[in-house]
Chain A
Amino acid sequence: MRNTINHYGWGTITLHWLVAVTVVGLFTLGYWMVDLGYYDPWYKQGPDLHKSIGILLFLVMVVRILLRLVQVKPQAIETHTDTEKKLGHLVHVFLYSALFILMISGYLISTADGRAIEVFELISVISFGELFTDQEDLSGMVHKYLAYVLISVVVLHALAALKHHFIDKDITLKRMLGYRADKQ
């Protein structure tokens, strides 16, 4: 269940893939919903769903960070070069930070006028009102462009994993799928 020095525990693995699927899903939904016509049935549902999932993702990410802090962090595989380790670390730092900035900027768009965000019409996430001028527009810009950058880095991250699997033939990707060298 827990991480070891060489392997990811199931908690970490589940959270990783849950976030991966959610992030790709939110990007796709966001990209699609902004061009919907006013009379499209999804014109209201799309953004409602996007916001609800986004807030839940924030909670998941907080749990993920906490679990990361209280657990051992598996070391990079020995065959990774120093450049790969540095790049990998940089990409991880970016993915975590960008995700938080994205979620915060999204929150700031919808709450700029004091309105709360309804999560599946069950929970209301309160607004702190307008914290700075042109809040919805500036946050909107950050949210939009950072989303494009994030998804590009996600693609890079996935390509890197595939490179390790198919070219280097190491266990980088398999490790994130639950493979344990010590149990084979």
Chain B
Amino acid sequence: MKKLLLASTLSALLFAPAFTSTANAADYVVDYKGAHASVNFKIQHLGYSWLTGRFDKFSGSFSYDAADLSSAKIEMFVDTNSLNTNHAERDKHVRSDDFLNVDKFGSAKFISTSITDKGQNKLAINGTLTLHGVSKDIIIDAIKIGEGKDPWGGYRVGFSGTTKIGLADFGIPDTLGPASSHVELELHIEGIRK
């Protein structure tokens, strides 16, 4: 009886990690606290240059296992009030109901539905973006930058992702001219394994 118990405990200990790593990908929290993640955007100004900005406050978590993407998923929540384009007057205007209407739509979110491997560390992240009260399916083209132990006893993995969204698709008044009808989102995400 004792031997059986020992054997089963041992086998559980030996096989459980291997087993769970295929069934359940590791869970990560987006490193907002340490600020190794950012939610950036850029939009053309008059068609002459790029105007960049970012959202200073957000949170997120994801599940990821390089060997098996079928159970991978990510969700991100962005505080739209935290928009920052390094110009107070412009930020105030973009937050107003002329654009993001953050009093009414204070947060945006992205929840993935499926993630597919495109080879060479590239991923296609399909999911639903809810912005300005409108939910739309989008695809984020992502690339894994790196993965491994950090010097402080933790384990990290990081990605970059880009996508392009139309203002009008999310019901945001498209008043900035033909060159500025779309915004490009640029995400840099580092996750710390929980």
Contacting residues, chain A, for B88 (C-beta < 8 A):
109-113, 115, 130, 135-136
Cβ distance A52 to chain B, nearest Cβ, rounded Å: 15
Say yes or no: is A140 at the interface (Cβ < 8 Å to chain B): yes
- Looking at B68-76, B89-97, B124-132, the stretch in contact with chain A turns out to be B89-97
Say yes or no: is A166 at the interface (Cβ < 8 Å to chain B): no
Q: Determine whether the beta carbon of A140 is less than 8 Å from that of B92.
A: yes
Q: Determine whether the beta carbon of B176 is less than 8 Å from that of A38.
A: yes
Say yes or no: is A41 at the interface (Cβ < 8 Å to chain B): no
CA distance A37 to B175 in the complex (A): 7
> Which of A109, A111, A115 is close to B92, meaning CB atoms less than 8 Å apart?
A109
Contacting residues, chain B, for A115 (C-beta < 8 A):
87-88
Contacting residues, chain B, for A109 (C-beta < 8 A):
88-89, 92
Contacting residues, chain A, for B92 (C-beta < 8 A):
109, 136-137, 140
Count contacts on B: residues with CB < 8 A to the other chain.
11
Contacting residues, chain A, for B176 (C-beta < 8 A):
38
Q: Determine whether the beta carbon of A113 is less than 8 Å from that of B175.
A: no
Q: Determine whether the beta carbon of A136 is less than 8 Å from that of B91.
A: yes
Contacting residues, chain B, for A113 (C-beta < 8 A):
86-89, 91
Which of the four size classes fits the interface of chain A? 10 to 19
**Which residues of A in the span 31-55 have a Cβ within 8 Å of any Cβ on B?**
37-39, 47
CA distance A140 to B81 in the complex (A): 14
CA distance A110 to B75 in the complex (A): 36
Query: Given the known A-B contacts A109-B92, A140-B92, are A39 and B177 also in contact in the complex, defined by CB atoms under 8 Å?
Result: yes
> Which of B86, B89, B175, B177 is close to A136, meaning CB atoms less than 8 Å apart?
B89
> Which of A38, A111, A134, A135 is close to B177, meaning CB atoms less than 8 Å apart?
A38
Cβ distance B168 to chain A, nearest Cβ, rounded Å: 15
Contacting residues, chain A, for B81 (C-beta < 8 A):
134
* B interface with A by C-beta (< 8 Å): 81, 86-89, 91-92, 95, 175-177
Q: List 8 A-B pairs, minimum CB-CB distance, nearest first.
A: A112-B88, A113-B88, A136-B88, A136-B92, A140-B92, A38-B176, A137-B92, A38-B175
* A interface with B by C-beta (< 8 Å): 37-39, 47, 109-113, 115, 130, 134-137, 140
A-B contact pairs, 7 of them (CB 8 A): A47-B89, A109-B92, A111-B88, A113-B91, A134-B81, A135-B88, A137-B95
Given contact pairs A109-B89, A110-B88, A110-B89, enumerate 14 new A-B contacts (beta carbons under 8 Å): A37-B175, A38-B175, A47-B89, A109-B88, A111-B88, A112-B88, A113-B86, A113-B91, A130-B88, A135-B88, A136-B89, A136-B91, A136-B92, A140-B92
